[in-house]
Amino acid sequence: MALTSIVTGAVYRLLLASQRFSRAQLSQLSLQTNVRSGSIAALNEFRELGTVTAGSADQNDILGVTASGITYRAARGLGFLCQPPNANRLQIARGSFSGYRDPQATRDVAYVFLDGAPDTEADDSWLGLPVVDVATGATCPGSMGAGLTLTTSGAVPPDLPAGTPIRIYEVMELRSYQSEGRSWLGARSAGTGENIQPVSGPLADPDGFRLEYLDAAGVPTSDLTAIKGIRIAVHAIGEDSLSPLSGARVEEELVSAVTLRNGFRR
């Protein structure tokens, strides 16, 4: 009986350790999924951003930054005028439009390219016009087919030629935030005032989501117009431990970097 008790106790401890290790492995996989999804979400958004060193507000997509968050113009689509504008309406050829989704009224802004002198880019600019209505009933001239008609709240320059690029943006905020005592990575459309929605988490507190902004030489910068790259770190800590002796909880951190759309390295 004594020998049976010793063997049974040993087997029980072995099973308990095996269960604890399996639970820790599942926690590790969950953490890996968390940090990977957060990193992918940030990378997909940031690689479409562009800045012009010492440029104007219309030329720079990054609107505000902190160490754990960023506000920016998120690209949602690109199309081309199929005819000159009429009053405050822009008509885009459906066949020329590509993007994440169709334009949405009250959420998006149409950025219209204004071409200055043809022999220089110095006087080129983008004019932001909030979209207040989107219609799909009209067609473009000739054989260009269906069109997207965007009604804007601002006046459209009447001399824009057919073929003018129209970029569709919404102002987004991506940052860490607290909910139910846990830290999360969240996103929201800042232009509509919606509540922040979770993208990834729970993450480590307080350093679960960290951003570092780099210039063309890879040096950290606080100048919004000089940012050419962003380093992203997503860090998560689980509740379980891989070893009962150390008591250290499982954790995962993924560090990645992205170069902006018009970034370059010297």
The pLDDT tens digits for 181-195 are 889 999 999 878 889
Contact between 155 and 86 under an 8 Å Cβ cutoff? The reply is no
Kindly list the domain boundaries of the chain, sorted by start residue. Answer: 28-70+171-259, 75-169
Chain centroid to CA 184: 15
What digits encode the pLDDT tens for the residues 204-220?
888 889 999 999 999 99
Contact between 82 and 147 under an 8 Å Cβ cutoff? The reply is yes
Distance CA 62, CA 145 (A): 35
Share of the chain above pLDDT 90, in %: 35
List, in sequence order, every residue forming a beta bridge with 116; answer none if it has no partner: none
What is the predicted pLDDT for the residue at 20? 59
This prediction's pTM = 0.78
Q: Is the pLDDT of residue 244 over 80?
A: no
Whether a cis peptide bond, with omega within 30° of 0, leads into 85 is no
What is the predicted pLDDT for the residue at 266? 43
Fold classification of 75-169 (topology level): Thrombin, subunit H (2.40.10)
List, in sequence order, every residue forming a beta bridge with 187; answer none if it has no partner: 174, 197
What is the predicted pLDDT for the residue at 70? 96
| Closest C-alpha to 260, from 42, 47, 43 | 47
What digits encode the pLDDT tens for the residues 172-181?
999 999 988 8
Q: How many CB atoms lie within 10 A of CB 67?
A: 13
Residues 63-79 have a mean pLDDT of: 93
List the end-to-end C-alpha distance of the chain, in Å, as a whole number.
77
Q: Tokens 């499982």 identify what position? A: 250
Distance CA 232, CA 42 (A): 8
Residues 37-65 have a mean pLDDT of: 88
Residue 103 CB burial class (10 angstroms; 0-12, 13-18, ≥19): buried
Please name the helix (run of DSSP H) or strand (run of DSSP E) that holds residue 22, with its range, or none.
helix 2-46
Residues 150-158 have a mean pLDDT of: 86
DSSP state string for 114-136: E---TT-STT-EEEEEEEEEEE-
